[in-house]
């Protein structure tokens, strides 16, 4: 029986530099949806640091809402402030993404591969080693609200303390869900990208993420 819909996954082991993934991990794309908020926050604080200042209270609140609550309005405000498409152009150039495609004016429709998703997270983690504000963004991803912590974290060993930024949207015009899971723990990064018929609901995508994670854990 063929699988329902589409799935791609990519695993990056930071200690060794090894990568594993599905056969389509480097070539087939999905809407990034809210995964890209990890970068929107990282890019925003890079601008703040370049100005030699700290985040204001309102900036900190907006980034926190975007990461913890997956607040789209906060994401849009931060994205527009930093130049909209320029934010995604910097993601591609500064993080060395290989197959990501900009959809002008829409951060959530950025077309990304599973490989590029883990590369994006690796880029964020790399900056966090020397940037206190980026380290704070990563820490916010460890405190995502329960409704955004589905998929990968649900099957990791206790105490893994993952940093998570999932993305999930029912695309009514397409009659399909696009649901992505992205998490990092123990110097590992895993991305699982999916789309499938709308009738299956959000729970189906969450289950795909869990199933892939369980299989990946047997590899490592």
Asked if 38 and 120 count as a contact pair (C-beta separation under 8 A), the reply is yes
Instruction: Between 3 and 207, name the one with better pLDDT.
Output: 207
Phi, psi (5° rounding) for residue 118? Answer: -70, -30
Phi first, then psi, for residue 111 (nearest 5°) are -90, 115
Q: Which domain holds residue 164?
A: 6-217
Average confidence (pLDDT) over 126-137 = 98
Total domain count, the chain: 1
Question: Does residue 49 surpass a pLDDT of 70?
Answer: yes
Q: Is the pLDDT of residue 185 over 60?
A: yes
Is 95 within the bounds of a domain?
A: yes
pLDDT at residue 220 in the model: 83
Closest among 76, 103, 88 to 43, alpha carbons compared = 88
CATH number where 14 lies: 3.40.710.10
Q: What pLDDT is attached to residue 3?
A: 65
- Is residue 182's pLDDT more than 80? yes
Rg (CA), the chain: 16
Residue 126 maps to a domain: yes
> What is the structure's pLDDT at 2?
56
> Is the predicted pLDDT of residue 1 greater than 80, yes or no?
no
- 117: confidence class by pLDDT, cuts 50, 70, 90: very high
**Domain assignment present for 1:** no
Q: Are 97 and 119 in contact (CB under 8 A)?
A: yes
**Helices 37-50 and 114-128, axial angle in degrees (round to 10):** 30
Residue 4 has pLDDT above 90, yes or no: no
**59-108 tens-digit pLDDT:** 999 999 999 999 999 999 999 999 999 999 999 999 999 999 999 999 99
Residue 211 in any domain: the answer is yes
Q: What is the C-alpha to C-alpha distance for residues 196 and 130, in angstroms, rounded to an integer?
A: 39
**Average pLDDT value for residue range 7-15:** 98
Q: What is the mean pLDDT of residues 157-169?
A: 97
Distance CA 67, CA 163 (A): 10
Q: Locate all alpha helices (DSSP H) within the chain, ordered by sequence.
A: 37-50, 57-68, 72-81, 85-95, 114-128, 132-141, 201-217
């Amino acid at each position: 029986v063929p699988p329902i819909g589409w799935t791609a996954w990519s695993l990056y082991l930071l200690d060794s530099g090894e990568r594993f993934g599905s056969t389509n991990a480097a070539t087939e794309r999905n809407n990034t949806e809210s995964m890209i908020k990890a970068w929107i926050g990282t890019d925003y604080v890079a601008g703040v640091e370049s100005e030699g200042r700290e985040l204001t209270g309102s900036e900190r609140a907006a980034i926190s809402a975007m990461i913890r609550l997956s607040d789209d309005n906060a994401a849009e405000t931060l994205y527009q402030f930093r130049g909209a498409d320029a934010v995604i152009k910097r993601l591609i150039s500064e993080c060395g993404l290989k197959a990501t495609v900009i959809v002008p004016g829409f951060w959530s429709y950025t077309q990304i591969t599973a490989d590029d998703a883990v590369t994006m997270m690796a880029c964020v983690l790399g900056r966090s080693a020397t940037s206190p504000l980026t380290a704070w963004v990563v820490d916010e991803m460890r405190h995502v609200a329960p409704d955004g912590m589905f998929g990968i974290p649900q099957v990791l060993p206790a105490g893994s303390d993952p940093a998570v930024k999932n993305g999930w949207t029912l695309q009514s015009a397409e009659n399909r869900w696009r649901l992505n899971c992205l998490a990092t723990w123990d110097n590992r990064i895993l991305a699982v990208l999916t789309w499938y018929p709308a009738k299956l609901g959000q729970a189906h995508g969450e289950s795909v993420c869990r199933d892939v994670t369980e299989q990946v854990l047997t590899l490592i």
